[in-house]
Structure 1
Amino acid sequence: MLRAVSQRFKVGVENYLPNAFIFAILLTFLTLILGMTVTQQSLFEMTGHWYGGFWNFLAFTTQMILILITGYALVKAPPVEKLLIRMASIPKNQKSAVLITILVAAAAGYLSWGLGFVLGTLFAIEVAKNVKTADFRLLIAAAYTGTVAILPASITVTAPLLVNTPGHSLEDKIGLIPLSETIFSPTLLLTAFLGLLIVMYAYLKMMPKPDEVVPFEGESEQFKKPEKVNAVTFAEKMDNSRLINYILVALGVIWLFQYFSQNGFNLELNILNFFFIILGLALHGTPMSYINAITSGMPSASGILLQFPFYAGIMGMMAGSGLISVITEGLVAISNEYTFPFLSFLSAAIVNVFVPSAGGQWQIQGPIMVEAAQQLGISVSSAVNTVTIGDLVTNLMQPFFVLPALGLSGLGLKDIWGYCLVSMILLFILSGVIVTVAPLLF
């Protein structure tokens, strides 16, 4: 049944779904119009609010780019590549190929969403290269879906980390929310791990029949053994110096030991990025190897770099015009302490279709949900969790985060759309039940 449904969903969505940047532009227009019609702001006032907020996310933009790029650099480290090649040789048929791909992508996604999207795709390519009876399209979709499924409990999921980071935009209203109330809460843990089980079951049921399998064709160029560098000049020797590299790594390890000794397992975005940089340097062995990995991963961050200022501008218009207060009052009017979690989840799922980045969405929607939760007497951490889950589930419909996977694999959105959409429906149902019931149990 799931196989038939997934095939029906394979439509030419690229004809109707515009580029993620166009979504940001359209949302800008929509916010502008709403500000002028709902709050009676003039065009000049709204454009003033827009530019007033346009550059407010610069630090956050850098943090998000670093999570993605440092995750990519970890994947390109020779020890990690060697391990992935060895693991990719384990599965011998389509079923085992699907399961191990989902699990590897989920494990990487738990450590870092950027790492999960990149490593999962590269691992799926290597598995498809070795298992010719496995459908290449299915494996790429499985890797992406496995990462999305685990992200509610990922230690790099954006909103929980952000509200635990000193200096975040809402600190004066809500303070710092510990990870024990968000990432490690029963709500997010249940959503992630039950979701992962459902995804594994769904992909086994969606496997194409043997005569329908589209295998991987061509040679994989994603895993290359590092070339031995013949450093001749003094500059080349410095660039490829292991001594310099590991002295720097040692300094980083000393600081990390000091930090965690004093603060416990208290992750925030800056510490997480610092950890990934030090680990990446350690695994690459030389500064130049790490530089090359970072450079090759930079194109995947272009969407974040371009779009985040527009999200900041949208936030500026919503705050400056008073739209946030209008929306909050409307949400509170139709919500109570029992319905708010689901309505918060639903609104986040819808908004994510138009604002396909967790950071940008939280900066726009977070203040609304926090104020609504406070007015209803609901814990702010509950609002953070429901927005997080809603934001993540429709990533299986929105193409923004799957673009790196499509670029690495050479596939089109239509090749994996059906599988992702079926998975989204199943995860949406599960998530809706959990966010509604969990507050009554925990």
Structure 2
Amino acid sequence: MSTTNEGLLARAALRSAAWSEKWFPDAWVFAALGVVIVALSVLGTGGTPVATVNAFGDGFWSLIPFTMQMAFVVIGGYVLATAPVVARLIDALARVPRSGRGAVVYVGLVSMLASLLSWGFSLVFGGLLVRALARRNDLRMDYRAAGAAAYLGLGAVWAMGLSSSAAQLQANPKSMPPGLLDITGVLPFTQTIFLWQSIVLTAALTAVSLLICWFTAPSDANARVAQDFGVSEAPLPALPPRTRPGEWLEYSPLLAVLIGALGLGWLGYQFATRPAITVVADLNAYNFLFLTLGLLLHWRPRSFLDAVARAVPSTAGVLIQFPLYGGIAALLTKATGADGQTLAHHLSGLFVRVASTDSFPAVMGAYSAVLGFFVPSGGGKWLVEAPYVMQAANDLHVHLGWAVQVYNAAEALPNLINPFWMLPLLGVLGLKARDVVGYTFMQLVVHVPLVLGLLWLLGMTLTYVPPVMP
């Protein structure tokens, strides 16, 4: 493979991809190393072996509900997308790009825009769009770069939009723990994701991410397509004919219609009684919606069940790795050292001690990003960090809504190389983390100084407002 005719960033991306394919470990190894590093750090702060092993064991199964939710993100997304009508829609969208490099940028744009509404939808839809583009014989698209672009919603802007768990929590006093409510008061969206500073930051991240996609995507001569990774894009198998009388309910739409009617009735009630975006951002409701629509659009239970069977192998990475992340989170937040403080508390204290009112956004952004490498959010990380982060913001007279956005912007950064969130997408694509990390790392190199710099500069345009209690 010759890189002579590639641009500077494309050559750097190809070298990064080659390195990661050779040296980046399997995602499970990455998680296991995280466990070892955090456990040793706990022991290093004076934590006892008993406290360390108990925290790991107690936390190991703590993410099981979330693990199943993420597995159903893959299953529900695949089932819905392989329904004939939705598959035709994705194929229609896949006809838009005219070049391999343009296709990579197109995937990145779709992924990021979708993630502002729902990160789960972005994850699955982006992956299925890449699969559809890979089926085009007239388009030589680098499958690795396109997969990395499909991940940009989770790696760049998702937490800056309506699916931000932190912004949703701070705007809803009934969902907030009393201790946090006393510190922050209620922060409506106008003080967080709808700040003009937040919109500017989101727009800048989107534009820069797309430019990186364009300049790092390899030319046709150096592109590696889906077939190079053993990913088959053969048409989905046709529904086999019924072979015995006992199968008639499997091939009749009766059960699909009845179960679908119950599901749509529940969803209708949810949308009628709750804000629509709150319903969509709820993972349980989101998965319920996808499964219900998938069942109805497949029409026959046999077709629906066949689609589920094809989707299940893609969930293997999620099922075996997420328990390790549960153990890491518990080690950070539950195991105490000789002084009675957790490792997370020591990390926060380290950054808060060197922060001032002006530097708080950049310093706390760096802290949140570092912690995010070991505790991927899943919605719960803000509950761990918020009490001491927001108290520090109060003490330093930093705009509280901007402090939430500092967290939102920074927590996406580690996603670019942490396989935790990649797993559902990788399952859809049939790739390993090492196949796409070379390209997401190029995004990380640019995003870190851009995000921290903009957090600092834009934060200087805001003034402190005391907490507003409900």
TM-score by length of 1: 0.81
Q: How many angstroms does 1:435 deviate by?
A: 2.6
Query: What CA distance in whole angstroms lies between the structure 1 residues aligned with 2:329 and 2:221?
Result: 51
Equivalent position to 1:344, from 344, 364, 372: 364
Shift of 1:47: 2.0
Structure 1 residue aligned with 2:53, among 23, 47, 52?
A: 47
Counterpart CA distance in 2 for 1:133 and 1:56 is 43
Matched, 1:420 2:440: yes
Q: Which residue of 2 aligns with 1:373?
A: 390
Q: Report if the CA contact (8 A) 1:314-1:364 is conserved.
A: no
Q: After the TM superposition, which residues 157-196 of structure 1 pair with which residues of structure 2 at under 5 Å, given as runs? A: 171-174=177-180, 189-196=199-206
- The question of whether the paired residues in 1 share the 8 Å contact of 2:24 and 2:434 is answered with no
**Cα distance between partner residues in 1 of 2:169 and 2:76:** 18
Deviations along 1:167-208, one digit per CA (max 9) or x if unpaired, are 98x734336976666666656654444322222222323343
Aligned to 2:345: 325
Matched, 1:387 2:401: no
Flag the 1:320–1:210 CA change in 2: closer, same or farther, 3 A. closer
Q: 1:92 to 1:63 in 2, by over 3 A?
A: closer
Map residues 95-110 of structure 1 onto 2, 5 A cutoff.
Answer: 95-110=101-116
Q: 1:412: Cα distance to partner?
A: 6.3
Q: 1:178-257 to 2 correspondence within 5 Å?
A: 189-209=199-219, 211-214=221-224, 217=227, 221-222=232-233, 224-225=235-236, 227-231=238-242, 233=244, 235-257=246-268
- The offset of 1:354, in angstroms, is 4.2
CA distance in 1, matches of 2:108, 2:147: 10
Question: CA offsets per residue over residues 150-174 of structure 1, 9 Å max, x none?
Answer: 4234555565567789998x73433
Partner of residue 301, structure 2: 287
Structure 1 residue 126, shift from structure 2 partner: 3.2
Q: Call closer, same or farther: CA 1:309–1:437 in 2, change over 3 Å.
A: same
Cα distance, 1:319 vs structure 2: 2.0
Local SS of the residue matching 1:116 = helix
Separation in structure 2 between the aligned mates of residue 188 and residue 235 of structure 1, nearest angstrom: 58
Stretches of structure 1 lacking an aligned partner (at least 5 in a row): none
Please tell me whether the aligned partners of residues 98 and 139 of structure 2 are also in contact (alpha carbons under 8 angstroms). no
User: Contact 1:370 / 1:383 at 8 angstroms: preserved in 2?
Assistant: no
Q: Does residue 332 of structure 2 align to residue 313 of structure 1?
A: no
CA distance in 2, matches of 1:50, 1:205: 43
Query: In the alignment, what sits opposite 1:303?
Result: 317
1:349–1:392 contact (8 Å) kept in structure 2: yes
| Greater Cα offset, 142-151 or 314-323 | 142-151
Residues 71 and 424, structure 2, Cα contact 8 Å, conserved in 1: no
Counterparts of 1:79 and 1:301 in 2: how far apart (Å)? Answer: 24
Deviation track 1:198-250 (CA, whole Å, cap 9, x = no partner) reads 22222323343454445565897446356245346554222233232123222
Corresponding residue number in structure 2 for 1:120: 126
For the residue of structure 2 that corresponds to 1:9, the secondary structure is: helix
CA distance in 2, matches of 1:441, 1:49: 42
Normalising by structure 2, report the TM-score: 0.77
Q: 1:12 aligns with which of 16, 19, 22?
A: 19
Q: Is the 8 A contact 1:77 1:283 kept in 2?
A: yes
Number of equivalent positions: 437
Q: Distance in 1 between matches of 2:26 and 2:432?
A: 13
Q: Is the 8 A contact 1:72 1:115 kept in 2?
A: no
- SS of 1:45's partner is helix
Which amino acid in the other structure matches residue 205 of structure 1?
Answer: F
How far the C-alpha of 1:285 sits from its partner, in A, is 2.2
In structure 2, relative to structure 1, the CA distance for the partners of 1:196 and 1:264 (3 Å cut) is: same
Distance 1:64 1:406 in 2: 13
Q: Secondary structure at the match of 1:358?
A: coil
How far does residue 146 in structure 1 lie from its aligned partner after superposition? 5.7
Report sequence identity in percent. Answer: 25
